[in-house]
Amino acid sequence: MIGYGNSMFLATHGILARAASGGGFDPDAQAFITAAGITNPTQQGAINTLVVALKGYNIWTKFKAIYPIVGGIASSHAVNLKTPGTFNLTFATGWTHSATGMQSNTATFSNTFLNMSTQIASVNNWAAGFYSNLWVSGNVDMGADTFTGNFYFTSKSPNLFGGNNARFQFNDAVQFADTTGTGFYLGTRNSSTNGKGYKNGVEVANLTNSNAGSFANLNVYLGALNRNGTASYSTNVRYAFWFIANASFNPTEQANFYTAVQAYQTTLSRQV
């Protein structure tokens, strides 16, 4: 029944779907559904289930921005689920928007207007990532950089790193093997000496260093790197989810997050 989420999934994972008072959606889910103009019942239900799951896993408050990329058009894909109207995306020409996500073209990008140097409280406590379901050519999937490190995240990028290699960068880069270029990628800095990268809930990268560096005083771009104010290294990848969080994820939290996001993508029939 619309408004009660995927009760079987949530019950299985010990999280009961709850309805907002009056039997409607979770209020944060409803706010997004309204702002993004989502009218499809399956999509509405998927959003509600996602929000309920994130709250049930006690990770909802970590996020600064969540872009669930639902609705199939630019105006819907632009909306920030966490706080609709704040850090909404804008798109350079060239994105292909569809029910399966938003696909770049090697010459475009999206602006989050989220400047991590002012929005993330600590360089030692944050996370970011994305879900991709089609890889054509890789480059930088997201980031903001002043050519001295900072933050970026790349899935499979033979153009940049040769072979099937990917990287998560927070001052120092940690490289990991990535043969598909698709899936759920999460990078997190969890202390002054450690950061980790995960793909599909599994740790793929571990970085131990004592210098987390600093965030560039630039907005994070999606589908490309914001390098000194210029979009660079644009990908040709289709994305179905993005997030930036003002807190790190421990192994259990990132696994739960992946479970929720994968269920969301499966409901929308665009999972990998």
Partner 1 sequence: MEGRIVTNQQAQELQGVFFDADTFFNFVQDINDVYFLFLSEQDEADIAPTEYAYLLDIPLSPYVPKPSPPFSPTE
We find the least distance from the C-beta atom of residue 103 to partner 1, in angstroms, to be 8
Between helix 27-36 and helix 41-56 the angle, nearest 10°, is 140
Instruction: Give the separation between CA 250 and CA 248, rounded to whole angstroms.
Output: 7
Task: Work out how close the CB of 156 gets to partner 1 at its nearest, in angstroms, rounded to a whole number.
Answer: 15
Q: Report the residue from 84, 94, 201, 251 that binds partner 1 according to the rule CB under 8 A.
A: 94
Cα-based distances in Å from 109 to 17, 19, 66, 81, 220: 36, 37, 17, 20, 10
Minimum gap (Å) between residue 95 Cβ and partner 1: 6
The footprint of partner 1 on residues 179-198 (CB under 8 A) is none
Q: Is 214 in the site for partner 1 (CB under 8 A)?
A: no
Rounded to 5 degrees, what are φ and ψ at 121? -70, -35
H or E, element range at 141: none
Query: What is the bridge-based pairing of β-strands 110-115 and 101-103?
Result: unpaired
Q: Applying CB under 8 A, does 108 fall inside the site for partner 1?
A: yes
Q: Is-contact 78 113, C-beta < 8 A? A: no
Binding of residue 93 to partner 1 (CB under 8 A) = yes
Instruction: Identify the residue among 19, 20, 74, 272 touching partner 1 (CB under 8 A).
Output: 74
Closest-CA residue to 112 (of 181, 64, 171)? 64
Q: Show contacts with partner 1 in window 41-60 (CB under 8 A).
A: none
> What does the alpha-carbon distance between residue 88 and residue 81 come to, in Å, rounded to a whole number?
9
How far is residue 270's CA from residue 34's CA, in Å, rounded to a whole number?
23
Report DSSP state, residue 190: -
Q: Taking the complex as a whole, how short is the minimal distance between the CB of residue 96 and partner 1, in angstroms? A: 4
**In the complex, minimum distance from the CB of residue 66 to partner 1, in angstroms, rounded to a whole number:** 17
Residue 166 touches partner 1, criterion: CB under 8 A: no
Quick one: 106 or 219, whose CB is closer to partner 1? 106
Member of 95, 151, 221, 249 binding partner 1 (CB under 8 A)? 95
Give the Cα-Cα-Cα angle 17, 74, 93 (nearest 5 degrees): 150
Closest contact distance (angstroms) between CB of 52 and partner 1 is 28
Q: DSSP label at 228?
A: T
- Name, in order, each residue with C-beta under 8 angstroms of 22's C-beta and a sequence gap of 6 or more: none
Does 85 bind partner 1 (CB under 8 A)? Our answer is no
Nearer to partner 1, 21 or 147 (CB): 147
- CB closer to partner 1 out of 44 and 76: 76
* Nearer to partner 1 (CB atom), residue 59 or residue 79: 79
Does residue number 105 form part of the binding site for partner 1 (CB under 8 A)? yes
Task: Please report how the helices 41-56 and 251-267 are oriented relative to each other, as an axis angle in degrees rounded to 10.
Answer: 170
By the rule CB under 8 A, 121 interacts with partner 1: no
Q: How far apart are CA 76 and CA 84, in angstroms?
A: 11
In angstroms, what is the minimal distance from the CB of 93 to partner 1? 5
Question: Which of 126, 135, 170, 233 is close enough to bind partner 1 by CB under 8 A?
Answer: 233
Q: Summarize as ranges the residues that interact with partner 1 (CB under 8 A).
A: 73-75, 78, 89-97, 105-109, 147-148, 159-160, 173, 231-233
